Chain A
Amino acid sequence: DAGVTQSPTHLIKTRGQHVTLRCSPISGHKSVSWYQQVLGQGPQFIFQYYEKEERGRGNFPDRFSARQFPNYSSELNVNALLLGDSALYLCASSRRQITGELFFGEGSRLTVL
C-alpha cells in the first residue's frame, strides 16, 4: 500500500533558476497540500488543492505556484529561486478538503546555491 510519494528527493539549484516538485497522493485521496519546512521550524502551509482547484494559499510570494492533475497528483513550481527557498518541501494528501488528518510524503530537499 503506497503512501504519498514525492520526487525528486534531493535537488540543488542556483539562484534565479526554476524548480518543479512532484507529488502522488494516496489512492482515493483527492486533496493535496504543500508545506515548506525550514531547518528548525515546523511545516509552513503553502497551498491546498482539492478536486483540482486551489482551496487555500499560505503567505508565499507569487513565485510559488501549484496545480493538481485529473489523477490528483500535484506539482509545486517555484520561479526565480532565492537562497531562502532552501528547505524541505512536504506534500500531504487527505480524503477530505477540511481535515487535520494529513498523510505526508518524505519530502523534497531543495538546496539553492
Chain B
Amino acid sequence: AQRVTQPEKLLSVFKGAPVELKCNYSYSGSPELFWYVQYSRQRLQLLLRHISRESIKGFTADLNKGETSFHLKKPFAQEEDSAMYYCALSGNSGNTPLVFGKGTRLSVIA
C-alpha cells in the first residue's frame, strides 16, 4: 500500500533561513513524487514533481530511493513561502491514485 509521511505538522523559520520540509514514502513499485502547496485562501496547487527536476519559486526536491524520501528544500525562506505543503505519491499503474501526506504548515517569520 502507498503511504506518505510528513513528520512535522508545523515548521517555523526566520526569513532568509534555509527550509527543509520532510517527506518519507512507502511504495512497493516505482513511485512518482510531488509537492503540492496551498497558500492562504487559495486552492491546492502543484508546486513541483520529481520527474521534472526543476526549481520552482526557489524550491527543489530530490527523490532518494534508498532512504525513500523526497524532502523539499529552499536555501533562503521568504515570507510569501508561508503556506501548507503536502507531499504526494502516485504509482505508475491505473489503480494507484495520488496519495497525500497530512501536510506541514510552513510559517516564515519576518
A/B pair count, beta carbons within 8 Å? 57
Is A56 in contact with B97, judged by CB distance below 8 angstroms? yes
Interface string of A18-48 (1 = CB under 8 A from B): 0000000000000001010000111111001
- Give Cα distance in the complex from A43 to B88, angstroms: 10
- Give Cα distance in the complex from A52 to B99, angstroms: 22
- Interface size bracket, A side: 20 to 34
Given the interface pairs A42-B100, A43-B100, A58-B97, the reply to whether A100 lies near B88 with Cβ below 8 Å is yes
Contacts of A12 in B (CB 8 A): none
Question: A104 → chain B, closest Cβ, in Å?
Answer: 4
The answer, yes or no, to whether A11 is at the interface (CB within 8 Å) is no
Is A33 in contact with B98, judged by CB distance below 8 angstroms? yes
Contacts of B4 in A (CB 8 A): 42
Is A106 in contact with B43, judged by CB distance below 8 angstroms? yes
The answer, yes or no, to whether B11 is at the interface (CB within 8 Å) is no
Is A45 in contact with B95, judged by CB distance below 8 angstroms? no
